[in-house]
Structure 1
Amino acid sequence: MHNYNRKLIYLIAILVIYVSCFVGFIFYSVTNFAFTDFYKRLDLRRNIAAEKFLNSKSASQADQWSLDFIENLNNQHEFLVEFDSNGTILRGQGFHQELWDKINKKGSSNFKSGNQFYSTKYFSQNGRKYIVGASAENYFYTHHLAYLRNLLIISLILGILFIFVVSVFMKRSFLKPILTMMKEVQEIGSENLYKRLDEDKYKGELHGLSLTFNRMLTRLETSFETQKNFISNASHELNTPLTSIIGQADLALSKERTTAEYQRTLFKIIESAEHLEKKTKALLLLARTGFVNNATAFSPVRIDQIVMDAELTVKAINDKFKIITDFSLLPDDSMRLKVNGNAILLQLALSNIISNACKYSSDRTAYIALGALDNKVFILI
């Protein structure tokens, strides 16, 4: 969960950086365009001012053309500066001397001082050097760009808040089913392995995860039941032959006996040990239920043979169990009794069912009927 939160924080940070860069790029592009366009307009007015200041014959015509076709910019001023080869100002008209260091004395220059934008150009006439310039206040920069800047800042803040809110909402939406699944899993313990996750509640990958988890619970439940049944059966079924062996050995050692009596006692011990061996093998066979590999390949097996093997296994566990098998419904063609399956798993399943039938029957008797219909085989217990 901590790793997921860290990745989410990284994603939010990337989105915030991207939005911030996008907003900054928009503001920079608009500002750059506003400056470039305004300097072009100032250049035009600077050239008109040069015609007015330096060409007196056409000055009135230039003034009239400027008035007729070109609007005056906000707080527009034109100025003329004459200077010598040392850069000393000889005379100036409408010029502020503190701007002299910002001006290019050998070409054109554009610069900004405060809210005022300047466009200047060097001219030479009759051996004299002049700087002609025009200045104006960029109304778009001082008003519209300020409004655009504030609008973008507000949009950025709202965008970040929107990203944060959506991220939190998406996080809760994504994590809610996972947290619900975790809560359900935590409620399942060894005492209630029969519980399962509600697969229909989850969608997509979580549905597959819940299905996989339920299958794992089924295998765990089978293993627990197998262990419990083995312990229960072992404690009951192995106790009798062990007690018989110990009792016969104690009886034989209680006093001196003849060779024939010792032999009879040993034969009885061997008989009890063989009976114990059969029960142990049967119990171990049943205990394999939870450990047989589910990936074992299926093959054709005879159901009647499986039923008889299961019957022998149950009787080996408890010789007091009675099993009556009815084969009257068997088909004439024995091939119809073949099914595609795993012999070990089928025998284990039938052994458990028959054993439970005998265990919970009033007279410890189980009845089995076996038959076949068309392409199906049925077993009644």
Structure 2
Amino acid sequence: MKIQIKITLLFTLLAVAIILLLSGAVYYFANRYSFRDFYKRLEIRAIIAAKANLDSDVNNVSLYNEIRKEHLERLPAEQEYIVALDSLTKHSLQFPQQLYKQTLAEEKAFYRKGDLFYASLLYPEKNPTHMVVIAAKNEYSSQQLSNLRNILLTGLGVAIIAAASVGWLFSNEVLKPIRNISRQVNDINTHNLHLRLETDNRNRDEICALAETFNDMLNRLETSFDTQRNFVSNASHELRTPLTAIIGETELALAKSRDEAQYRAALGIILKEAERLNHITTSLLSLAQTGFNGQKLQLEPVRVDELLLSVQEAVHKIYPNRLHIDYSLMPEDDTKLTTVGNHQLLNLAISNIVLNGCKYSGSGKPVMLALTATRENILIIVKDQGIGIPEKELRFIFDPFFRASNSLSFKGYGIGLPLTRNILRMHHGDIAVSSVENQGTIVQVTLPIA
């Protein structure tokens, strides 16, 4: 069932339910008031009948009889009972026994039996000697209630048609922006990912938020497709270069007989290119294994302060006495130093950052490593005094094989930072890089506290 039909049905059912509730309330109170009004009319007739038949003043009797004759129209099936209490017994009752008992107890009473309504009272009030009962059918009120019921049912039918029509128009208007979004989305494919959904900045409603969310997704998809294309292009180029060198050097060595020194030189070149090819292949496999969907990790509690000590020990073997750990910001609460993750992968991620800092800082310049924590996250800060990254190139540093223009004289393949970011994402962490060219780089790693 289409959403528009569902909205129309729900709108109609809600409107009908409200109208039914109001109509029922109107009918109930009209019915109740009509009974109460009819009982009051019967009571007045009972009082006049008592005065006309039992009053000791002859003039009053004539006056009340005149009033009854001229102003009180006889009711349908009207009956009048005036009986003396001393001669009245429950066996001689011409009206319901319950009315008799209630009148004796409360001096007046009202009773209904089917379509016949009763009103009774004792007369006179102070020293009653007689009971006066008036009975009649409430045909006028029944007719009015019947007319009211027909009007309400007719109004309900009209309201159902009106509610369905308004609901259809309402749902059509509500769903119009969604239809526009669907139409625009159908026009977007892999060949025109640059297209975006139209958004109304003046109307910041949920539909606008949906369109913006979809545009954000398109931004990520476009970036992902571009990155994939660049990755394939760069990977093929990086792999082809050492293979071409190896093949060319081998063909050159085999072209004619050479002395031992020439063969050694050729084998040295082949070994160097093979090692480069091995490093690129290993990096690519690591990058693929730590893609955003990632492999299943063996997770365990990891003390980050101990992790940094192991990183320092590994870096010290390559760059002796270059890495210094600042313990001044370390939290006193040990629970804020533990995260959940894979020790080996986290070690690789932090090591990549620190080794980059040492490599691009030049000889003698220290690299600072600090550890601190907030209420929810552990922060690892790496600060170097190296060549920095040009501002315009900072947004590309996580693209595979990308290398800043001022780093080409340093050995590297541009895979370390993308690999590090993938590892941190697998651990629900994040990485932020800020840099000033020729002044240094600050890298902040965020990991959730266990």
The residue identity in structure 2 corresponding to 1:51 is K
Match of 2:132 in 1: 132
Contact in 2 for aligned 1:104/1:121 (Cα 8 Å): no
| 1:277-332 deviations in Å (ceiling 9; x for gaps) | 9999xx9xxxxxxx9xxxxxxxxxxxxxxxxxxxxxxxxxxxxxxxxxxxxxxxxx
Cα distance in 2 for residues equivalent to 1:74 and 1:222: 90
The change in CA–CA distance for 1:13 and 1:148 in structure 2 (over 3 A counts) is: same
Matched, 1:33 2:64: no
Match of 1:336 in 2: none
Which runs of 5 or more residues in structure 1 are unaligned? 91-96, 284-290, 292-338, 356-381
- Bigger drift between 159-168 and 197-206 goes to 197-206
Match of 1:268 in 2: 269
Match of 1:344 in 2: 394
Cα distance in 2 for residues equivalent to 1:116 and 1:85: 22
The TM-score, its normalising length taken from structure 2, stands at: 0.52
Match of 2:46 in 1: 46
Task: State the shift of 1:251 in Å.
Answer: 5.9
The change in CA–CA distance for 1:150 and 1:11 in structure 2 (over 3 A counts) is: same
| 1:215-273 deviations in Å (ceiling 9; x for gaps) | 32133122212222332344356424312203434665799864312321034335656
Contact in 2 for aligned 1:76/1:136 (Cα 8 Å): yes
The change in CA–CA distance for 1:172 and 1:275 in structure 2 (over 3 A counts) is: same
SS of the residue 2:196 aligns to = coil
SS of the residue 1:53 aligns to = helix
| 1:176-230 deviations in Å (ceiling 9; x for gaps) | 3213313432443334323322335995332332233223213312221222233
Cα distance in 2 for residues equivalent to 1:118 and 1:348: 94
Higher helix share: 1
Match of 2:65 in 1: 63
The change in CA–CA distance for 1:5 and 1:23 in structure 2 (over 3 A counts) is: same
CA RMSD of aligned residues (A): 4.8
Alignment of 1:87-126 (within 5 A): 87-89=90-92, 97=94, 99-101=95-97, 103-105=99-101, 107=103, 108-113=108-113, 115-122=115-122
| 1:72-105 deviations in Å (ceiling 9; x for gaps) | 2544745225474542328xxxxxx4x4456324
Match of 1:226 in 2: 227
Alignment of 1:208-219 (within 5 A): 208-219=209-220
Contact in 2 for aligned 1:120/1:131 (Cα 8 Å): yes
Alignment of 1:228-243 (within 5 A): 228-236=229-237, 238-243=239-244
The change in CA–CA distance for 1:61 and 1:275 in structure 2 (over 3 A counts) is: closer
Contact in 1 for aligned 2:8/2:168 (Cα 8 Å): no
SS of the residue 1:190 aligns to = coil
Cα distance in 2 for residues equivalent to 1:235 and 1:341: 28
Contact in 2 for aligned 1:53/1:80 (Cα 8 Å): no
The change in CA–CA distance for 1:128 and 1:195 in structure 2 (over 3 A counts) is: closer
Alignment of 1:2-13 (within 5 A): 12-13=12-13
The change in CA–CA distance for 1:64 and 1:85 in structure 2 (over 3 A counts) is: closer
Match of 1:16 in 2: 16
How many residue pairs end up in the alignment?
A: 295
The residue identity in structure 1 corresponding to 2:16 is V
The residue identity in structure 2 corresponding to 1:103 is L
The residue identity in structure 2 corresponding to 1:227 is Q
Which runs of 5 or more residues in structure 2 are unaligned? 285-291, 293-388, 406-450
- Bigger drift between 44-53 and 201-210 goes to 201-210
Q: Which has the larger radius of gyration?
A: 1
- Bigger drift between 237-246 and 340-349 goes to 340-349
Contact in 2 for aligned 1:16/1:160 (Cα 8 Å): yes
The change in CA–CA distance for 1:114 and 1:340 in structure 2 (over 3 A counts) is: farther
The TM-score, its normalising length taken from structure 1, stands at: 0.59
